Amino acid sequence: QIPAMYYFHAATGLYFRMPSIFVQFFLLTFLTVENSAVQSPICNSMIPSISLSNGVEMPQLAMGTCFRDTMKDENNPSGLPLNPNFFGFLPERTHRALTHALAMGYRHIDTALVYRSQKAIGSVLASHFASGALTREDLFITSKLYHGSMPGLTRKGTTLDLENMTPEEVSVAVETQFETILEELNLGYVDLMLLHWPAEMDSKHEGNAARRLAAWKVLEDCFSRGWARSIGVSNFSEAHIEQLMEDGAKILPMVNQIEASVYKQWNGIADYCRGKGIGLMAYSPLGMGKASLLADPILAGIASKHNVEPAQAAMRYLVQLGYAILPLSTSEKRLGQNMGVFSFELDDTDMETLGKLKSMNEGIGLPSPY
């Protein structure tokens, strides 16, 4: 199968999908003849944004790039038929999914050093920059660093053995990770850099606060140098943020990215962030997926009422709560459906009904931020 690309014909307003070799020939042959100021062949985005505390506009829909297969356990093989022993991240799924997403109008890309998807993102973006389809200013790139070790899942170098590190060692490691992220993305700066976790997962180590502060001060320094247009945290509780500021942080985090769905709510964290003007991002907005949340009859009924898919209703709920959402998909169909969350609105009754489902308290299995 010949690789395909998307092309937006500005004069006619038509949107084409054709083999990339034909697109290249068409662009080289006709583009300068038709109009030297022809618009980008990538469709313009109509996604609303959230204003962060420093005035930076963050698109409310992001493409997630944490592609992985973690199905394997003692009783089950992986989801890869040719490699049943596999357990880990799959960055190769990024190229095609991101190409589709950019063509549809996605402009916010969420990644992290630990996901191993950044080189693929850099490759896709480079091709768009080279063709003139996109400029750096068209995009909002979020990445994350400072992730504790996860033996058996992550590779050496993408995580840190935090409990065996001094604050001084953390400072050096975090700056190195920041530089690595920019190199892998092949970019001069990111739009948002987050501390991925407040500590090793489930850790109550007495040195965690000092290490967090050391890591945050590196982000503050990189922000002052323009390596990031905004900085924030991920999986932080309100206590973590309060402690960070009390211990000497100069800049209040601009974003807190947390797990959130119709079934999973950290209301205390969300209310605290809203009160402090900290933007909220929701990862895993569909929870465990079709086997659970998306099969919920209450959610299905509300979706049917609005003539949308259950996934769209579930994500719309979070949008109306003020979250930026970052669903994960390689499906061209579902990527398109995700864009549809801005085409309808839930009424007060819908929001109240869905709000009650948080009692399910079902997430994807990650530790509590507390």
User: Among all residues, which ones are annotated catalytic?
Assistant: 115
Helix and strand tally (H, E) in the chain? 11, 14
What is the Cβ-side half-sphere exposure of residue 176, based on CA atoms within 13 angstroms? 10
Tell me which residue of 120, 91, 243 sits closest to 233, measured CA to CA. Answer: 243
Angle, in degrees to the nearest 10, between helices 297-305 and 310-320: 90
User: How remote is the C-alpha of 162 from its chain's centroid?
Assistant: 24
CA–CA gap between residue 274 and residue 318 (Å, rounded): 14
Cα dist. 116→111, 120, 136, 227, 345 in Å? 8, 8, 21, 20, 36
* DSSP H stretches of helix in the chain: 20-34, 94-104, 118-131, 167-185, 208-224, 238-246, 267-276, 297-305, 310-320, 332-339, 348-355
| Residues β-bridged to residue 283 | 259, 326
Return the DSSP state at 9.
Answer: E
- Beta strands 4-9; 14-19: pairing state: antiparallel
Among 100, 79, 96, residue whose Cα is nearest residue 88? 79
Q: How many CA atoms lie within 13 A of 367 on its CB side?
A: 16
> What tokens were used for 138?
């068209």
Distance CA 92, CA 116 (A): 9
C-beta neighbour count of 93 within 10 angstroms: 18
